[in-house]
Chain A
Amino acid sequence: MLLNIEQFLPILPEVLLLILGLLILALQMSLPKPQHRNLGWVTAVGMGLVILFSLPARPGTEPMYVWGGMISYDWLSFTFKMLFIFAAGITALLAMDIEGLGTRGEFYVLMIASTIGMCFMASAADLVMLYLSIETVSIPLYILAGFFIFDNKSTEAGFKYLLFGALSSAIMLFGFTLLYGMAGTTRLPHIVISLLQNATSGLIPAYIGSLTLILVGFGFKISAVPFHFWAPDVYEGAPTPVAGFLSTASKAAGFAVLVRVLLWVFPAEIWAPLLAAISVATMTLGNLVALTQHNIKRMLAYSSIAHAGYALIGVVSFSALGLISVVYYLLAYLITNLAAFGIVSAVGRVTRSDDLTAYYGLSRRSPYLALALLVALLSLAGMPPLAGFVAKVFIFMAAIEAGLIWLAVMGVLNSIVGLYYYLTVLKYVYLYRSDGDTEPLPVSRSFTVAIAVLIAGILLVGTLFSPWFNWASTAAAALFN
């Protein structure tokens, strides 16, 4: 088989990322140590270029299976790829000035490796490809979570993430084998067809069994209850930009495979009730436990668990609008949560603390950083004119359209709880005083750039939603038409 250039178009982002990773590796070896920090700029600009050069390689409206059916070349995967690459670029900027993280070239290379995995994850159309890509994402992330090897919390985070991740991916793999055993093929679009052909009543328990086992693996990725236990500890211990990356890009990748596998392989009658229960449990537990947190990273961890629950409402709705709302929600959530973690790392770098007490009087120390935190937290709470508001409205719309009014009401009640703890943080920031609140809080240029981009993004997604919505609906049409 002769390779031609056409065949590379579907994996152009991955190819470009690989080139970028190799470039960083080469630069790290050739540049003197003090220059290594600037690899962050290279990574961020490189990511921007990857997005720019990938745009001409966007797919057509009809999904195509390429590379021997391993990869689905469609808008859903393309959309998610762009999100991952964006998140990675921002994370590089946020990490640059973190001591022991941004000064090490390995960090950028590992993050790029993980991003490549995510891109394959979003487009995987085969069980083998799916499993391999999930591992490609996870292994660099285990290392990144434990990147500060002299910090006990960070190593604990890395190890915990590894143990949980390895266990849940083993369980998921078992689910895959069951599925293969029943269907006789590993290609996702074909599995459902062969299952229909061989449908005998005796297979139903195995079918449900494999669904459950697979959901364990995906549930771990999106940190849904009851597979969420790792998230708060890992976010707390991991370097803050890494935690931000974990809670956004990695979670979005989990959603990408979740919707693809569920919609392609399993009938909605089986998974929808189960997922609805998981969604309610995830939202409720995430929000209620977030109320009691004293560490902002743990609070954001529980809040990100809760947000996975909201996004699941869109999946449960099982409709075009539902899937659109999931994509929109993930877009809004990704930029918002990256901003929140970015501000936390900017503050934590100076104060050396992630306790909520470190945020007392932040508005006096740094009015603009406080304002950015206000925007990020209110967007998480779902207040207009910020991204979180429309995203939530779309999710609730999808639920009501599908007749799941009770689920929409659960979501609404949860967003009230959410508002409470986000406002509490803002109270600390604006109202409370601390001894050091007259000292300035220097913010480096890379932080400023990253946070400014994110805040602008939050406002854009929250006000001019038509282009984003059209984009999300094109992506959703890849699975729903």
Chain B
Amino acid sequence: MTGLASPTLRKAPPAPGTTPGVPQGPPRPRRTALLPTAALVLGALYCLLPVAWVVVAATKADDELFSTFTFLPGSGFADNLGDLTSYRDGIYWTWMGNSVLYAGLGALLSTVVSAFAGYALAVYRFRGRELFFNVMLTGVLMPPVILAIPQYLLMAEADLTDSHASVLLPLVLSPYGVYLGRIYAEAAIPMELVEAGRVDGAGEWRIFSRIAVPMLAPGLVTIFLFQFVAIWNNFLLPFIMLGDDEKFPMTVGLFTLLKQGASQPALYTLVITGALLAVVPLIALFLVIQRFWSLDLLSGAVKS
């Protein structure tokens, strides 16, 4: 609307007697910069391209997938959906359910652990505080595979491989979550409030649960989302831990389906429809959530 309204309007010189540099009234409309806008839109289209493709490709029947033009919609979406749902008694939806379970429960537990640890690191002064924090941060650098092999062997010792717990437990502690928890707690919780709570005779737990948690809420949502995405996207750990495909999350399930597709190309349409359905929930989640939550929080930004 404002984009084309005033292509020739230039920034008016400051009125006499006013201080330059101090904004007065509503911001003046500026000229649209065409080339930069084009670059940004091009970047956005590039990022949307595969998503647009999967939306179209999921509508194609088997024979259309390799014969019609890439972005020409096909006629088989309902059939593909039906085939996917009936494939091995609906195992796809089991994978989806598993992913929701791993990511939902895992992220919830992770948020609780991160909130506890972040709060402790931000609010208390105690021996070993920095040591604990630094040791935790080295965990961020740890390649997942150096953890995954011994985790698998240790889980095998404990007879836990090929169980839901083997995928869930190792992901509950997120070093980045603890880091975010500390940053948010330092920014959001005034020490005076904690002191005031103590003077009023509230116990430490009560101060945390009644005063700190409500103030930390936006940060906790961020940690939850971050960890939800991390677990939802995880592939290596379940790939190594699980053998029974009834326990697979979406990523491992689709991978095995794609692998079988090399010898049975008919499975490709299932993979594509499955990929679309796996992407939709997270995109929907982000679209809904960005109305009341800022992406910036993901990088540890806090309002000063």
Do A and B belong to a common assembly? no
B residues with a Cβ closer than 8 A to A are: none
